[in-house]
């Protein structure tokens, strides 16, 4: 699938349950590394909070969550459930809890984290994005017309171009387009696929 649902920009919400304050933050992310960096930033920024829990999903089927000291399954999993039921990916949800002195119990915690995550997601704009793949190809000038024709026919974008003894292009297109175009490009004499991500 080339398209997926995500959020257009960060959003936040605040929920108070029995004097405990839950601050929820939703972020669009492009990678697990970006998610982990944001989690570290929030843990530094809210160092005085009792818990900084998270859940994130990527279109590549990576799903991770953490209860960060809350009883197992009471924070990260309900937050993940909110992301899954909304069908969004490439989203990081962080909920910061300031303890209010009243124990919520397992059902109360699950409900509070779910409510906070749902409120942050509701405050976000959900958009459809296209999953793109980039590749770098190198070829001799004699192959230029054949390469450019194939790129044009498939609506593959040229992101950058370097010309030296040979020509090097960085190209980008939806994943399904690249899946069929790259083997066809490699059949053109002198074309070498340098890398693909």
Every domain of the chain and the residues it spans: 3-129, 131-196
186-189 contact pairs (CB < 8 A, 24+): 188/139, 188/143, 188/146, 188/147, 188/150, 189/140, 189/142, 189/143
Q: What is the pLDDT of residue 196?
A: 61
CATH number of 131-196: 3.30.70.260
| 52-106 confidence digits (pLDDT tens) | 999 999 877 789 999 999 999 999 999 999 999 999 999 999 999 999 888 899 9
| 6-53 confidence digits (pLDDT tens) | 999 999 999 999 999 999 999 999 888 899 999 999 999 999 998 999
| Rg (the chain; Cα; Å) | 22
Query: Span 150-175, mean pLDDT?
Result: 89
Q: Point out the least confidently predicted range of 40-54, 78-92, 113-127, 154-168.
A: 154-168
Cα separations (Å) of 100 from 19, 79, 103, 104, 108?
4, 20, 8, 10, 13
* Residue that is written with structure tokens 């969550």 in the block: 65
Half-sphere exposure of 2 (CA within 13 A, CB side): 11
**β-pair type (51-57, 167-174):** unpaired
Span 3-129 CATH architecture: 2-Layer Sandwich (3.30)
pTM of the model: 0.75
């Amino acid at each position: 699938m080339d398209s997926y649902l995500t959020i257009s920009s960060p959003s936040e919400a605040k929920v108070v349950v029995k004097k405990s304050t839950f601050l929820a933050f939703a972020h669009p992310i492009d990678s697990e590394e970006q998610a982990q960096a944001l989690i570290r930033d929030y843990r530094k920024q809210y160092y005085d909070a009792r818990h900084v829990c998270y859940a994130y999903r990527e279109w590549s089927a990576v799903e991770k969550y953490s209860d960060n000291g809350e009883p197992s399954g009471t924070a990260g999993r309900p937050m993940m459930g909110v992301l899954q039921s909304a069908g969004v990916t490439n989203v990081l949800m962080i909920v910061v809890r300031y303890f209010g002195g009243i124990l919520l119990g397992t059902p109360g915690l699950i409900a509070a984290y779910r409510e906070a995550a749902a409120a942050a997601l509701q405050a976000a704009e959900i958009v459809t994005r296209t999953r793109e793949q980039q590749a770098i190809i190198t070829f001799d000038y004699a192959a230029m017309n054949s390469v450019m024709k194939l790129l044009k026919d498939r609506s593959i974008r040229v992101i950058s171009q370097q010309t030296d003894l040979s020509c090097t292009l960085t190209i980008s297109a939806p994943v399904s387009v690249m899946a069929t175009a790259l083997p066809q490009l490699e059949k053109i004499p002198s074309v070498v696929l340098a890398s693909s991500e």
